[in-house]
Structure 1
Amino acid sequence: MKKIFILAAISLFISCDNTKTPTAKIQTGTKEITVEEIWNGAFRTNRMNALNSMNGDFYSLLNRDRDAGTSSVDKYSYETLEKVVTIVDSKNLKRLKSFSSYSFNNDETKLILGTNFKQVYRRSFKGTYYAYDIASKKLSLIGKGIQEPTFSPDNKKVAYAKDNNLYIKNLQNNSVLQVTKDGKTNSIINGTTDWVYEEEFAFVRAYEWSNDSKFIAFLRFDETNVPQFSMDIVGKELYPSQQVFKYPKAGEKNAKVSLHMYNVNGNATRKVSLGAYEYIPRIQWSNTNNVLVATTLNRHQNDLKLYKVNASNVSTSLLLNEKDAAYVDVKDDLTFLPDNSFIWTSEKDGFNHIYHYGFNGKLINQITKGPWEVTNYYGYNPTKKTVYYQSVENGSINRGVYSIGLDGKNKKLLSNEDGNNRASFSKNLNYFINTHSTTEIPPIYSLYTAEGEMKEVVKDNGDLKTKLADYKMSPKEFSTIRINGNDLNMWMIKPADFDENKEYPLLMFQYSGPGSQQVANRWNGSNDYWHNMLAQKGIIVVCIDGRGTGLKGRDFKKVTQKELGKFEVEDQIAAAKKLAERSYIDKNNIGIWGWSYGGFMSTNCILKGSDIFSTAIAVAPVTSWRFYDTVYTERYMQTPQENASGYDDNSPINYADKLKGNYLIVHGSGDDNVHVQNTMRMVNALIEANKPFDQAIYPDRTHGIFRGKNTRLHLYKKMTSFIEENMNSKKDNDIKIKG
């Protein structure tokens, strides 16, 4: 079930023409940004409510009256953007004062309303859910402490998961059928995913109703032999508690996952045989009622297969086989057309593009082509025989929205040419809300027709633009830098009063993980304001996307295969040395920082690049890929048993004795993703090498280090102080005058 949460919304108006979103640049003032302003929301953008596209030219929004503590689902017209009707209002519900999520059945006659959520992991929640009949206004409890409830297509039942088992509730007589009975914590999971699938394959609901409501296909995870990980939770009680869960680290045993087919009418379950595989990252019904398509991957994740599964007799046949020397990405682009031919995206020609296949697995045609990447597939309109997608064909730092014929002809740019454009299409693909921003234009939400005609500005951030005009903001200067035979994308933020006759400290920011992108022509995030604040203090901030990052083709991205942390580190070190040749850079005062993969990078850089980097900050870093999960790590590294040198030659733990500069390492002790074990092992290596360093542990905080009062404020004030103390950046007279 798609959970739709409300976001703060304030309607604003700006003048515009009738074709494209208006643009206006940020003006620069004299007021200085503070860390407090960044983290108290002073620069937060106004966003569109998360809308849910409905049948026809309509969408719905979850609206909340925070003063009254109530909520409603309201229906709107795409054509007029006006409210048509209130579908349900909690003020009229006796048993439910408010709700935080909703989802429709297929014909939009019923709703599932969710409340009392308790987070499990990053994407998973348990909650209390109700079924609501729109016509009768009847509200009935589905269950408490349940996960992922979903209507059957015939609207008669709701399936859901609870306590690792799969259930079906009959909405006509309120009876509940327990489909599986072997579910057990840290042992057997039915109908939802385990930790590593949720984190790395990005889905939680592991069951799907057939189109005719006669079958439910579901995954079963046997975690029995997966090694167990535990974390102490300090909390507020006298004695700490423990969080214990199954976490397969690289080279260790995964859960044994299997596909099962449940016959709803026959109340019988059969296991589906899919040959040899390690993972089943997707299951999806085709447009044929009894034919499921299951995706399998081998452990190296370089051999992906699509299998057709006949639900009636659980027989299987191979539909498509995609292989790559490195790995094959798992995506959500598989789309079955009315004739059961299907859309598929692939990097097989060297760039990610859209392909059209028959249901016999034969290629019909390649729809998009060129030395650029498709970054999002939005859908197919069968009436117009048109495909809608997002790509970087106007430059890898920009993203545009396009349409193209199923035959690959009549391509058309529907959005602005520059900046970041992101579309949210109506279900029938007649309209879309385009979100447009650049580094100088805050997000503008505009209504477009599917032909690319801009109808109306729905929401802009004019007030924020006006507010920022009072601040000493420096623009991001985009360019490329030639490093190790490649032209790497780069942005640079200079102090507003930059003087080329002075020398400035340089701070490099990066992430550098496979397929990632930090150098993009889009609006500011919190880090961008912090970087601007550092520029106010006399520091030049730079970001460079090196080898291994995304949107420049398969070969550029996958060059780091089996060597995570080698080429990416070489590029950042070489870039620092090349930038140090510029007359306005203080070559003795160069720092680097990053979070997660970026923390792994910054740590490696100050160790392997000790002759150029004098300062580094690593937040929640991986310090050995031996400590990280199987799915992510082995996709790029294979197992430690197969590639020991790849793991160890690029682990900063093994280079602790090379530390010469100023190093701050930060971690949340409740990080279930990159465990604090990474930092503790790095700290031990530094102690054994007798190297001074700074450290900060945030109790019980997860990977984002944000829960709790003032957590992010405290972290960024600490990092600011560390930089001020170690990069001579407090006062203007700290900046060296050449000559």
Structure 2
Amino acid sequence: MNKTFTFLLLAGLSAFKGVAQTRPALTVEKIMQDPKTWIGTAPSGVFWSEDARTIYFNWNPDKAKADSLYKISLAGDRKPVKVSPVERRALPPDNGGVYNRAHSLKVYDKNGDLFLLDCKTFAVRQLTNTVDRESNPVFSGDEQRIVFARNSNLYTMHLNTGELAQVTQFDPGTKRTEPKPNEQETWLKKDQLSLFDILRERKAKRDEGEKITKADQPKRPKQFYTDGRQVMNPRLSPDGRFVTFTLMKQAAGAKTANVPNYVTESGFTEDIPARTKVGAPGSTFEFFVYDIQRDTVQSVSIKDVPGITDLPDFKKGVAGAKAATDTSKAGKAKASPLRAVSYGAPVWSEDGKYAVITLRAADNKDRWLLLLDPATRQLKLLDRQRDEAWIAGPGIGSGFGGGTLGFLADNQTLYFQSEADGYSHLYTINVATGVKKQLTSGKFEVQQVVLSKNKQYFFLTTNEVHPGEQHFYRMPVAGGERIKLTTMTGANDVALSPDETKLAIRYSYSNQPWELYLTELKTDKKGGLLLASAKDVPAATKLTSSLSDEFKAYPWRDPAVVTIPARDGQTIYGRLYKPEKPSGKTVVFVHGAGYLQNAHKWWSQYFREYMFHNLLTDKGYTVLDIDYRGSAGYGRDWRTGIYRHMGGKDLTDHVDAVEWLVKNHGVDPKRVGLYGGSYGGFITLMAMFTTPDAFAAGAALRPVTDWAAYNHPYTNNILNEPQADSVAYKRSSPIYFANGLKGHLLICHGMVDVNVHFQDVVRLSQRLIELKKENWELAAYPMEDHGFVEPTSWMDEYKRILKLFDERL
């Protein structure tokens, strides 16, 4: 074991010995009650006033039914004060807004209207007050107008004159065209005009009048019919000439599942519309450029994008053989079809010279960064990230853009994130020369990126100190030394002040819930930072105290962060709770998925489970939870270790962890249980069915039992589509392995779960009945969704889990 971890473990155990006799007793009812009633509510949603003198945050020290907005004035006594409703309604939203280049003005939308903030006087000017919703405001390239969206169309508003102009005219219908006259009709009309002078004169007058009327009409945006397709991400170029947009066509025949709701106000069963299942027909997308100057709307072709026809590796065997025999009548092989893709909105350089779009393959294997010439609609490759598993990771973004992407001050250097070297790092590329540079490197992730206002520095959040810590750094835009601006061990969630000299930090440690802290960086007389190294960073000051006396009365354990060898030589990180008097009984907790970790040094989002682990440890259980394959924080290979086989390496990591406990901590291999929710429930089922000798008991909470029944965005990443990769689904779905159950199994599931449907456990129950299994039970919760809400439900569920382990281990 690592010496540091060994020291932490021994020190923690020594500290607990002195309080063992006075440790208050924990009960399931106590720890599963409404957290506001006895823990307290941590500050959240932190944002700054524009003058950087006031911190705003959501808080609830009075245990009200809902959180309220509080503020701390740095000019006063720095005590939290509740914000009045009048002041709250006048504040800009906490999701920011968009600045002009000089950062003297900021435009934002709130409650469907537009507002303009003067960043020098802090005066707010309301720009719109309409029933229609205005959104996504930005400054035009010349900064004389505000560009915004209303009813899927773009508009501009002149800041001086108030002139409102419509830029686009999208019509959701289909253009109706008059049928062209046939040959006979054309001849007859021509003959009539040649015979009758009055007909010719009247037509000439009518044509001249229409010409004059048309010339007198003001120029309107081109009417474009979308044929029922949805307009997405309309954007106006900085020079005002081009509008880019995406049209989405929803797939026909995609069946949506309904979730029955049995306990309703009406007394009747009511269906809750839920979602489609993985593999359902997907939406298709097409990217367009509206050239206002030429009055044309044309689509952008992707046929020349490198790799646009490449097949995923898992398909190459079958598809390659098929392609070899699939020929046209002329005897030539048919060209491979273009892959389905989605588009991100263009990111423009401030001078309007360059535009970059993100293209993502629907099969999740490719992400392209492409330079767009809107005049010719040509695309030029800047960067292609290919992953035979799936493209993801911090800052990489989704199919509709997002992620880290922007231009530096020179207007031709683009910065972005990529997992090209196995970890999500920060890169730049010169879009004119193609020169690419990696700015960060190492076995850690860059998790958030913010460009400074002067575009000379990046502010980064990374886990480079330890996979279980998050710290905030400043780094020059050219790369080089990173100065760490946070000093506390754990997680530091930073809200940077508008003047970039202060850090409002939501901080927590393993056994300390989130509180608000402040770091004020030293500045010179002009307000510039005096920041040569991390030594210049002062200690943070605590601003809030949220915990109740009752909660603080219990000495919550600081679990040791340990490393465990996996069978393939990789290192597994885990959190270990070890009792003073081990009984040999062990419980392994399996966290949920998405992209998540739990073996870290901050207050877990699984705080109820954390408290339950303290209760178990009080009762003599050894408790362990690990960041198995697929967990966040450890780079691409760890993230994709579950590709095409969930319940493979992610499960063997748990089996290896139990063997490590047996070898190093004296636990009884016959008295090991595990539990978890969602993905954790899935792993519990796979463990009980496929490695039944490793676990004597398991509690599967809201588990996926058949991945073919789960949603498309998550599952298609990892297992592809069931109709294309049935092997991956069959080896990853517990329902196919239910015959392997030996130990005792508890299943708990909310009946109105719109994420993992209750149907999952109903189908598994029928399978267990047909297999004549008797050592299992199902607890159903009629009014709970995927995440439980009611304290009584939490209590019932965890009493059952505790009973299972007490009786069977």
Which residue of structure 1 lines up, in the alignment, with residue 113 of structure 2? 130
Displacement of 1:421: 2.4
Are 1:219 and 1:257, in contact at CA under 8 Å, matched by a contact in 2?
yes
CA pair 690-214 structure 1, distance change in 2 beyond 3 A: farther
Which residue of structure 2 lines up, in the alignment, with residue 344 of structure 1? 416
Are 1:231 and 1:670, in contact at CA under 8 Å, matched by a contact in 2?
no
* RMSD over equivalenced CA pairs, Å: 4.2
One-letter amino acid of the structure 1 residue matched with residue 370 of structure 2: Y
Displacement of 1:291: 4.2
Is the partner of 1:588 in helix, strand or coil?
coil
One-letter amino acid of the structure 2 residue matched with residue 585 of structure 1: V
Structure 1: how far apart are the matches of 2:173 and 2:603? Answer: 45
Are 2:511 and 2:557, in contact at CA under 8 Å, matched by a contact in 1?
no
Does residue 236 of the first structure (1) align with residue 265 of the second (2)? yes
Structure 1: how far apart are the matches of 2:595 and 2:95? Answer: 33
Structure 2: how far apart are the matches of 1:223 and 1:49? Answer: 35
CA pair 705-60 structure 1, distance change in 2 beyond 3 A: same
Structure 2: segments with no counterpart, 5+ residues: 1-14, 118-122, 175-226, 304-337, 398-402, 522-528
Which residue of structure 1 lines up, in the alignment, with residue 379 of structure 2? 316
Is the partner of 1:443 in helix, strand or coil?
strand
Which residue of structure 1 lines up, in the alignment, with residue 479 of structure 2? 408
Q: Name whichever of 424-433 and 626-635 sits farther off.
A: 424-433
Among 517, 521, 531, the residue aligned to 2:613: 531
Which residue of structure 1 lines up, in the alignment, with residue 792 of structure 2? 714
Are 1:514 and 1:558, in contact at CA under 8 Å, matched by a contact in 2?
no
One-letter amino acid of the structure 1 residue matched with residue 230 of structure 2: N
Displacement of 1:671: 3.3
Displacement of 1:558: 2.5
Is the partner of 1:727 in helix, strand or coil?
helix
Among 342, 353, 375, the residue aligned to 1:280: 342
Displacement of 1:462: 4.6
Structure 2: how far apart are the matches of 1:281 and 1:211? Answer: 20
Does residue 587 of the first structure (1) align with residue 659 of the second (2)? no
One-letter amino acid of the structure 2 residue matched with residue 475 of structure 1: D
Are 1:481 and 1:487, in contact at CA under 8 Å, matched by a contact in 2?
yes
Does residue 488 of the first structure (1) align with residue 515 of the second (2)? no
Higher-Rg member (1/2): 2
| Superposition map of 1:224-373 within 5 A | 224-225=251-252, 227-234=254-261, 235-244=264-273, 247=276, 249-261=277-289, 270-275=298-303, 276-280=338-342, 282-287=344-349, 288-289=351-352, 291-312=354-375, 314-329=377-392, 330-331=396-397, 332-340=403-411, 341-360=413-432, 362-373=434-445
Among 116, 119, 129, the residue aligned to 1:141: 129
Which residue of structure 2 lines up, in the alignment, with residue 190 of structure 1? 230
Which residue of structure 2 lines up, in the alignment, with residue 565 of structure 1? 647
Structure 2: how far apart are the matches of 1:221 and 1:546? Answer: 37
Does residue 516 of the first structure (1) align with residue 579 of the second (2)? no
Does residue 377 of the first structure (1) align with residue 459 of the second (2)? no
CA pair 316-89 structure 1, distance change in 2 beyond 3 A: farther
Which residue of structure 1 lines up, in the alignment, with residue 716 of structure 2? 634
Structure 1: how far apart are the matches of 2:130 and 2:406? Answer: 31
One-letter amino acid of the structure 1 residue matched with residue 34 of structure 2: N
Are 1:32 and 1:472, in contact at CA under 8 Å, matched by a contact in 2?
no
Are 1:319 and 1:361, in contact at CA under 8 Å, matched by a contact in 2?
no
Among 466, 469, 475, the residue aligned to 2:558: 475
Q: Name whichever of 694-703 and 260-269 sits farther off.
A: 260-269
Is the partner of 1:691 in helix, strand or coil?
coil
CA pair 46-229 structure 1, distance change in 2 beyond 3 A: same
Structure 1: how far apart are the matches of 2:95 and 2:478? Answer: 37
Structure 2: how far apart are the matches of 1:319 and 1:719? Answer: 52
| Superposition map of 1:65-76 within 5 A | none
| Superposition map of 1:673-688 within 5 A | 673-688=755-770
Which residue of structure 2 lines up, in the alignment, with residue 727 of structure 1? 805
Are 1:58 and 1:75, in contact at CA under 8 Å, matched by a contact in 2?
no
Are 2:113 and 2:134, in contact at CA under 8 Å, matched by a contact in 1?
no
CA pair 478-69 structure 1, distance change in 2 beyond 3 A: closer
| Superposition map of 1:685-696 within 5 A | 685-692=767-774, 693-696=776-779
Displacement of 1:493: 1.8
Are 1:398 and 1:520, in contact at CA under 8 Å, matched by a contact in 2?
yes
Is the partner of 1:602 in helix, strand or coil?
helix
| Superposition map of 1:203-222 within 5 A | 206-211=233-238, 216-222=243-249
Structure 1: segments with no counterpart, 5+ residues: 1-24, 115-128, 193-205
Does residue 106 of the first structure (1) align with residue 134 of the second (2)? no
Structure 2: how far apart are the matches of 1:272 and 1:636? Answer: 30
Structure 2: how far apart are the matches of 1:373 and 1:716? Answer: 35
Is the partner of 2:171 in helix, strand or coil?
coil
Structure 2: how far apart are the matches of 1:188 and 1:623? Answer: 37
CA pair 411-67 structure 1, distance change in 2 beyond 3 A: closer
Are 2:692 and 2:742, in contact at CA under 8 Å, matched by a contact in 1?
yes
Which residue of structure 1 lines up, in the alignment, with residue 788 of structure 2? 705
CA pair 321-59 structure 1, distance change in 2 beyond 3 A: farther
Among 488, 496, 506, the residue aligned to 1:425: 496
- Identify the structure with the greater helix proportion: 2
Displacement of 1:298: 2.0
Is the partner of 2:623 in helix, strand or coil?
strand
Displacement of 1:542: 1.0
Displacement of 1:476: 0.7
Are 1:446 and 1:454, in contact at CA under 8 Å, matched by a contact in 2?
no
One-letter amino acid of the structure 1 residue matched with residue 599 of structure 2: V
Is the partner of 1:587 in helix, strand or coil?
coil
- Aligned pair count reads 658
> Percent identity over the alignment?
20
Is the partner of 1:464 in helix, strand or coil?
coil
CA pair 363-521 structure 1, distance change in 2 beyond 3 A: farther
Is the partner of 1:517 in helix, strand or coil?
coil
Are 1:208 and 1:283, in contact at CA under 8 Å, matched by a contact in 2?
yes
Please list the CA deviations of residues 86-125 of structure 1 after superposition, one character each: whole Å capped at 9, or x if unmatched: 9x986499xx8999877545354655322xxxxxxxxxxx
One-letter amino acid of the structure 2 residue matched with residue 113 of structure 1: K
Structure 2: how far apart are the matches of 1:325 and 1:71? Answer: 44
Which residue of structure 2 lines up, in the alignment, with residue 388 of structure 1? 459
Are 1:600 and 1:621, in contact at CA under 8 Å, matched by a contact in 2?
yes
One-letter amino acid of the structure 2 residue matched with residue 490 of structure 1: G
Displacement of 1:536: 3.1
Displacement of 1:230: 2.9
Structure 2: how far apart are the matches of 1:605 and 1:570? Answer: 9
Is the partner of 2:763 in helix, strand or coil?
helix
Are 2:49 and 2:56, in contact at CA under 8 Å, matched by a contact in 1?
no
CA pair 291-183 structure 1, distance change in 2 beyond 3 A: farther
| Superposition map of 1:659-670 within 5 A | 659-670=741-752
Are 2:251 and 2:281, in contact at CA under 8 Å, matched by a contact in 1?
no
CA pair 257-243 structure 1, distance change in 2 beyond 3 A: farther
Structure 1: how far apart are the matches of 2:470 and 2:39? Answer: 24
Are 2:46 and 2:495, in contact at CA under 8 Å, matched by a contact in 1?
no
Displacement of 1:296: 1.3
Are 1:152 and 1:209, in contact at CA under 8 Å, matched by a contact in 2?
no
One-letter amino acid of the structure 1 residue matched with residue 448 of structure 2: N
CA pair 414-455 structure 1, distance change in 2 beyond 3 A: closer
Which residue of structure 2 lines up, in the alignment, with residue 43 of structure 1? 39
Is the partner of 1:715 in helix, strand or coil?
helix
